[in-house]
């Protein structure tokens, strides 16, 4: 078959697919972070731990209760989202009148506690989580082999991201959310329950992370450190896209996943740092991020 | 007897239970004590103004009534119900709506979304068609970004969106500030029309010629207190006093 710049197409497209998969997780996680940051003004450092909790709760549902993947896909976001609601009501809501730094410290501390608890209970070697049988196997596309599950991950995360974007940008609820992000006092003075809106928003952002965790479980091993490894890259994605920008976080998430994949083909040594190099350049040229509005 | 008293002293507020009664209202911005016991009343269907110099506490009074001044004490009764301890969302649900001086049009919302944002709190608000009848400009710009409108159009949007909600008492903070005379006239006609429709309005104004053209009564605010009450009919007789109050 044909070669591109001396790279066999199997390798190129394989890496692009891998990039797209990573991009799916970047997009879902940075989207949740962006929504939470927009309304709560808190950088949710617990996000990685909540993604990890998603994978673990899926594993627990399967191993303790016999609930398979498809049930977990629905139940896990609800369960982990509910823990987010409790965390917001009990802890985070007490910090809104303080500097952002306190929210960051609190959520960072929570991430350490949650990760530590899981590490204590389950160790760090990782637990296997089987792929749903309906999505086993793959398609030969001629130029590459596409495993069904990976195609599913890209597809479903695109749908979830675009669905979230639609709700925020095009519905009445989304208008409340955007308005409360700009001026919560005024939205409250219209009779809207802003504290409840904030709680539900945090719960939704956490549920999104947990959903990503379930999607990740069959691909990566279920491991207490899986969130910590990913979240640093996701923060870089958020910075590049622009804090609080919804569409920006989606486009940047998928885009950077692809760029990372391409780098792995053409300059493998740089693939681990390419996102951070881009982040540094974006910070120098456009500090508000590619899609962010200057403060 | 009562009639004679009223005739002799027409400045007295209406004898019936006022829609809004503010008594001994104190308010703080952080540590700074801004309101030192504000007293005034507004009857159903009345338009009253709060006049006074910059920094007298007029805007703060509106914010305290609306419940968005977090530290406040004293009494604010709306329709006989005390609101001083309620959050602003509960006060809004009782039928009070606020149009702030800075208009607070949301830049991430279109004109239509801005207009439709405040939920209906009671039946009896204006329909969207009636809002467009008052402010035809808005209809042309529905899909524009809210903050892309001119200052006058933003003011119309800020007033229009609270007319839909069914609120009976409107708190309008300097609706004419910085607007061209022709727009000021349009806002004035709108306020007169709203009064005809039975809305009760508290208006904060610096422009007292405008205030005189729309209001039933004027409360003069100075250093966080209401220091005088002037019925609109006696404005001319009190013009020197008022000039002294306002420093014009």
Predicted pLDDT of residue B78:
96
User: Which of A181, A197, A224 is closest to A34 using CA atoms?
Assistant: A181
Å between B45 CA and nearest CA of chain A: 21
Predicted pLDDT of residue B2:
43
Q: Are A279 and A286 in contact (CB under 8 A)?
A: no
> What pLDDT digit, counting tens, does each position of B175-222 carry?
998 899 999 999 999 999 999 999 999 999 888 788 888 999 999 999
CB-CB neighbors (< 8 A) of B87 in chain A = 188
> What pLDDT digit, counting tens, does each position of A68-78 carry?
999 999 999 99
Predicted pLDDT of residue B245:
87
The reported pTM is 0.88
B166: nearest CA partner in chain A: A190
Residue B27, domain member (yes or no): no
Predicted pLDDT of residue A294:
57
Query: What total of structural domains would you count in chain B?
Result: 1
Predicted pLDDT of residue B209:
84
Q: Which of A169, A190, A292, A293 to mutate to test the interface with B (most CBs of B within 10 A)?
A: A190
Predicted pLDDT of residue B106:
95
Residue B11, domain member (yes or no): no
Predicted pLDDT of residue A10:
78
Residue B215, domain member (yes or no): yes
Query: Alpha helices, DSSP H only, in chain A?
Result: 9-40, 47-65, 69-90, 100-122, 148-170, 172-182, 184-189, 194-216, 226-241, 246-266, 274-285
Predicted pLDDT of residue B124:
87
CB contact under 8 A, A194 and B89: yes
Q: Could you state, in order of their start, the residue ranges of all structural domains in chain A?
A: 9-109+153-285
For residue B204, what are the domain limits? 44-67+90-246
Q: Is some CB atom of chain A closer than 8 A to the CB atom of B86?
A: no
In this prediction, residue B28 has a pLDDT band, given cuts at 50, 70 and 90, of: very high
> What pLDDT digit, counting tens, does each position of B79-96 carry?
999 999 999 999 999 999
> What pLDDT digit, counting tens, does each position of B98-132 carry?
999 999 999 999 999 999 999 999 998 999 999 99
pLDDT over 70 percentage in chain B: 93
Q: Which residues of chain A have pLDDT under 70?
A: 1-5, 293-295
Predicted pLDDT of residue B228:
93
Q: Check pLDDT > 90 for residue B13.
A: no
Q: Check pLDDT > 80 for residue B17.
A: no
CB contact under 8 A, B165 and A191: yes
| DSSP-derived pairing of the beta strands B169-173 and B200-205 | parallel
CB contact under 8 A, B106 and A178: yes
CB contact under 8 A, A193 and B89: yes
Which among A182, A189, A193 has CB closest to B98? A189
Cα R_g (chain A), whole angstroms:
19
Which among A179, A187, A191 has CB closest to B121? A191
* Structure tokens that stand for B198 in this block: 């039975």
pLDDT over 90 percentage in chain B: 75
Return mean pLDDT, chain B.
Answer: 90
CB-CB neighbors (< 8 A) of B98 in chain A = 189
CB contact under 8 A, B88 and A185: yes
Predicted pLDDT of residue B8:
43
A221/A215 Cα distance (integer angstroms): 11
> What pLDDT digit, counting tens, does each position of A185-207 carry?
999 999 999 999 999 999 999 99
CATH number for position B110: 3.40.50.300
A293: nearest CA partner in chain B: B108
A235/A196 Cα distance (integer angstroms): 26
């Amino acid at each position: 078959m044909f070669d591109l710049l001396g790279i066999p197409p199997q390798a190129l497209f394989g890496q692009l697919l891998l990039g797209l998969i990573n991009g799916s997780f970047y997009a879902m996680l940075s989207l949740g972070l962006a929504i939470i940051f927009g309304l709560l003004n808190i950088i949710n450092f617990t996000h990685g731990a909540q993604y990890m909790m998603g994978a673990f709760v899926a594993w627990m549902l399967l191993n303790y209760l016999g609930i398979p993947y498809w049930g977990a896909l629905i139940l896990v976001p609800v369960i982990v989202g509910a823990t987010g609601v409790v965390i917001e009501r009990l802890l985070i809501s007490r910090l809104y009148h303080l500097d952002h730094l306190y929210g960051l410290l609190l959520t960072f501390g929570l991430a350490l506690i949650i990760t530590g608890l899981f590490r204590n209970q389950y160790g760090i070697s990782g637990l296997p989580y089987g792929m749903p049988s309906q999505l086993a196997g793959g398609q030969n596309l001629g130029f590459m082999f596409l495993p069904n599950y990976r195609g599913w991950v890209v597809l479903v995360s695109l749908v979830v991201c675009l669905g979230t974007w639609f709700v925020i940008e095009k519905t009445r609820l989304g208008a409340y959310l955007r308005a409360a992000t700009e001026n919560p006092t005024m939205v409250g003075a219209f009779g809207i329950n802003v504290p409840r809106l904030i709680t539900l928003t945090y719960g939704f952002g956490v549920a999104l992370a947990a959903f990503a965790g379930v999607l990740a479980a069959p691909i990566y091993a279920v491991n207490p450190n899986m969130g910590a490894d990913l979240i640093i890259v996701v923060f870089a994605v958020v910075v590049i896209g622009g804090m609080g920008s919804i569409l920006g976080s989606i486009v940047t998430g998928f885009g950077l996943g692809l760029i990372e994949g391409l780098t792995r083909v053409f300059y493998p040594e740089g693939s681990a740092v390419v996102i951070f190099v881009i982040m540094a350049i974006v910070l120098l040229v456009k500090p508000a991020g590619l899609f962010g509005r200057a403060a | 007897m009562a009639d004679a008293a009223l005739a002799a002293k027409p400045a007295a507020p209406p004898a019936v239970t006022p829609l809004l009664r503010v008594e001994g209202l104190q308010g703080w911005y952080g540590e700074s004590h801004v309101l030192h016991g504000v007293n005034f009343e507004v009857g159903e269907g009345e338009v009253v103004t709060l006049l006074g110099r910059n920094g007298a506490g007029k805007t703060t009074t509106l914010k305290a009534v609306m419940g968005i001044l977090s530290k406040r004490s004293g009494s604010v009764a709306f329709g006989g119900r005390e609101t001083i301890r309620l959050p602003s969302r509960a006060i809004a649900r009782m039928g009070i709506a606020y149009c702030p001086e800075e208009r607070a049009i949301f830049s991430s919302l279109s004109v239509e979304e801005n207009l439709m944002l405040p939920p209906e709190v009671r039946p009896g608000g204006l329909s969207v068609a009636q809002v467009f009848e008052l402010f035809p400009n808005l209809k042309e710009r529905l899909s524009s970004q809210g903050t892309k409108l001119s200052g006058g159009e933003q003011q119309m949007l800020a007033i229009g969106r609270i007319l839909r909600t069914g609120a009976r008492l409107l708190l309008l903070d300097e609706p004419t500030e910085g607007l061209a005379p022709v727009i000021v006239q349009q806002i004035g006609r709108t306020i007169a029309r709203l009064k005809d429709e039975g809305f009760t309005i508290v208006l904060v104004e610096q422009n007292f010629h405008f205030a005189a053209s729309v209001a039933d009564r004027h409360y003069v605010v100075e250093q966080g207190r209401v220091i005088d009450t002037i019925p609109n009919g006696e404005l001319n007789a009190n013009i020197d006093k008022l000039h002294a109050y306002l420093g014009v």
